Structure 1
Amino acid sequence: MTAPASPATQTCTDHRIIVTGCDSTYFVLVAELVASIRAYRPTPIGVIDCGMTPDQRATLHAQGIRVLPPFIPDYAPRRALRRRPSLGINISKLWLDRMLPEFDLILWLDADTWVQDGMAVERLFAAARSGTLAIVPEIGAKRADLLGVRWICPGWMQIRSFLYKNAARARLPFSIRRRIGAKPLLNAGVFCLHRQAPIWPVLRRWQALILPRRNMAFTQDQLCMALAVYIDGLPVTFLDNSHNYLGPWLLDEATGQLANLFFPHAPVGIVHMASQKAMRAALDNTMPVPTVQGGQVALNLRYGAMRLCRTAAVG
């Protein structure tokens, strides 16, 4: 497939868009994500369609939401995409500047995220305005260990980090694996970039190298971003974990909002339900969540459930 044409130079008007993607199964999550965005600001929204039904596409069109076909470059693994069409979403992330040439700032939010505090969105847009990659590194409260290791014997260990394992699977040279292996993962579930940011072609250069290699379609977006930042030195602005919060989970019973584990337990900005398959599937599925006040509640982390929780707390 021919790459989308590079847009002609335009006057920068700071037009913004929030983009996500889904198939028919994740449509309900995208509907909740859209509701959470529009609860604070009428920002334009685009959804990459990798398997929605005609009725689902019509529902989005009726809300003024752009439905976008995925962009699949010629070097993409066709067999993997036939088995799992939703992989086209991850591949398309690195082509958004070409897919949306009329927008200056593009914020990506995975389908299993939702916005609890609109200021987090504003800060992501502000961080990306100068052409830097605005993204959250996976460090801090999510995990006790900064990176995984396997101890072989006293004084000897093997690094088991996401970046090291995926760089090895992509058959990248050891010199590259060594440089990125101990670096924090840059979580591609939430990121923001200016259309003219210098990182776009670098991301696609790495994608063209990595994507044809076996089993790399699902993780290539995060690996490409890490390589562009840690190996090529492209500019990046790190935001704290409240802008892409993956847990540990904490509820403030006084406000009915999810709170950051770190004191003073400020409200989480963007909730990311990665690895929460049961809760993503049904609002009835819950997990025990401690509270700021010292208690514990059974909670579903989805926007639909948390909206009811907040209404009960403030009502």
Structure 2
Amino acid sequence: MSVKTIICTAGEDRFFPISQCLLRSVRDQQQGDIDIGYLNLGLSAGNLEKLSEYGASVVTPGWDIDFVPPDGDPTKVGDGFKAMTSRPFLRDHFPGYDVYIWIDADAWVQNWWAIDWLIEGARRGDLNIAPEMDRAYEHCFDFKAYVRWTVDQQAQFFGHDVAKRVGYNPVLNCGVFSMPSAHPLWDLWAEKLRDALQRHVGFFADQMSLNHVVYAGDHPRCFLPSQFNWLASMALPAFDPGISQFVEPGIPHRPLGILHLSGKTKSKPQSIDVLGRSEQVKTWLLYDPQRNGTGVS
């Protein structure tokens, strides 16, 4: 049964070229009808015009949640922060869909099966999201430090008692997720984000709020493998020249579905392993359908 689906993202001029990689990767590979929703966080007229090439529905959000900026100074919170405050309100900004998929602007789709499964999982009624856990991620072998950071983050937004109850779970990275329109977590997430921003205005407010409502309740959810949201800042992928795709760095080198250029991995070329070669190759990790068999683009 087909479901009406939209892939949503957000961007400003500074990251617009990177967000175009996501849009191209979707339009180059899409199977069936799928819409794109783009939250305009301050794009120039020229970049807004470019969005028409992808058939994107563009919305310029306001502040979906009222909060006091640090020191009461609005200049300390830029429009880019609306990417966080708007995420629980995607149904309001792009109404009328059965399934909502969010993909951060610095991520791109390498294999369409990732989108197919995100849609199917939402069709079954689940929130579908990947924990920041993989055998290749170094922090998984320094778990005490990772848990300490998570608990500290939860404590900033919700207090120490709450942090102790939910902060020992793996962080769910909301850079990629899908959820059906009728899921109860939309409203719970929005409410908890309001609570968080009254206590502390920080970059991880929306992610920690979502983690809180997921772990504090018993709502339909599916935790996905890391191939659905590969965090390049936590472990660089390898490249398989036989299929011209980025793959997980360890055997069996499974292809990645969505590659997320988290952290500084989007700002400069990276040195990556190429299967079958003894030397690394330096290359950008951006989407490039013409990437050659050596891994260089």
Partner deviation per Cα, 1:245-274 (whole Å, 9 max, x = no partner) = 113321112222101234221211000000
* Separation in 2, partners of 1:232, 1:80: 35
Aligned partner of 1:165 in structure 2 is: 152
Are residues 1:40 and 2:29 paired? yes
Deviations 1:184-208 (A, max 9, x none): 0000100001111111111011011
Task: Using the TM superposition, give the Cα deviation of residue 171 of structure 1 relative to its aligned residue in structure 2, in angstroms.
Answer: 4.1
Which 5+ residue runs of structure 2 have no aligned equivalent? none
Partner of 2:43: 52
Matches within 5 A, 1:276-287: 276-277=264-265, 280-281=266-267, 285-287=268-270
Identity %: 25
Could you tell me which amino acid in structure 2 is paired with residue 186 of structure 1?
Answer: L
| Paired residues of 2:27 and 2:54 also in contact (CA < 8 A) | no
Counterpart CA distance in 2 for 1:232 and 1:203 is: 11
- Encode CA deviations 1:28-67: one digit per residue, 9 max, x unaligned: 0111111100111152111100111011111113432111
Count of matched residue pairs: 285
**SS of residue in 2 equivalent to 1:32:** helix
Q: Secondary structure at the match of 2:84?
A: helix
Alpha-carbon distance in structure 2 between the residues aligned to 1:258 and 1:56: 29
Deviation at 1:131, TM superposition (A): 2.2
Q: 72, 90, 93: which is aligned to 2:87?
A: 93
Establish whether residue 64 from structure 1 lines up as the match of residue 55 from structure 2. Answer: yes
- Report SS of the residue matched to 2:177: strand
Give me the whole-angstrom Cα distance separating, in 2, the residues matched to 1:27 and 1:310: 24
Larger helix percent: 2
- Which residue does the alignment assign to 1:214? 200
State the Cα distance separating 1:71 from its structure 2 match.
4.3
Which one of the candidate residues 251, 267, 271 is aligned to 2:255? 267
Q: Contact 2:65–2:194 (CA<8 Å) still a contact in 1?
A: no
Structure 1 position 23, deviation (Å) = 0.5
Contact 1:148 1:161 (C-alpha < 8 Å) held by counterparts: no
**SS of equivalent residue, structure 1 residue 161:** helix
Distance 1:67 1:77, change over 3 A: farther
- Whichever residue aligns with residue 84 of structure 2, its letter is N
Aligned Cα RMSD in Å? Answer: 2.2
Does 1:116 pair with 2:110?
A: yes
Contact 2:9 2:105 in 1 (8 A): yes
Aligned match for 1:302, one of 286, 290, 296:
286
Cα distance in structure 1, aligned partners of 2:144 and 2:106: 28
Question: Relative to 1, partners in 2 of residues 1:311 and 1:16: Cα closer, same or farther, differing over 3 Å?
Answer: farther
Residue 291 to residue 311, structure 1, CA distance change in 2 (3 Å): closer
Q: Which amino acid aligns with 1:40?
A: Q
Q: Aligned to 1:183, what secondary structure does the other structure show?
A: coil
Is 1:180 aligned to residue 155 of structure 2? no
> Residue 45 of structure 1 contacts residue 65 of structure 1 at CA under 8 Å; is this kept in 2?
yes
CA distance in 2, matches of 1:62, 1:120: 23
Asked if 1 retains the 8 angstrom alpha-carbon contact of 2:37 and 2:94, the reply is no
1:4 corresponding residue in structure 2: none
Alignment of 1:30 onto 2:25: no
CA change 1:208–1:188 in 2 (3 A) is: same
3-state SS of paired residue (1:190):
strand
Q: TM-score scaled by structure 2?
A: 0.88
Counterpart for residue 237 of structure 1: 222
Q: Where does the alignment leave 5 or more consecutive residues of structure 1 unmatched?
A: 1-11, 151-157
Q: 1:298 to 1:230 in 2, by over 3 A?
A: same
User: In the superposition, relative to structure 1, how do residues 130 and 82 fare at CA in structure 2: closer, same or farther (>3 Å)?
Assistant: farther
Shift of 1:236: 1.1
Decide whether the 8 Å contact of 1:141 with 1:248 is kept in 2: no
The residue number in structure 1 matching 2:271 is: 288
Residue 144 of structure 2 corresponds to 149
Normalised to the residue count of structure 1, the TM-score between the two structures is 0.84
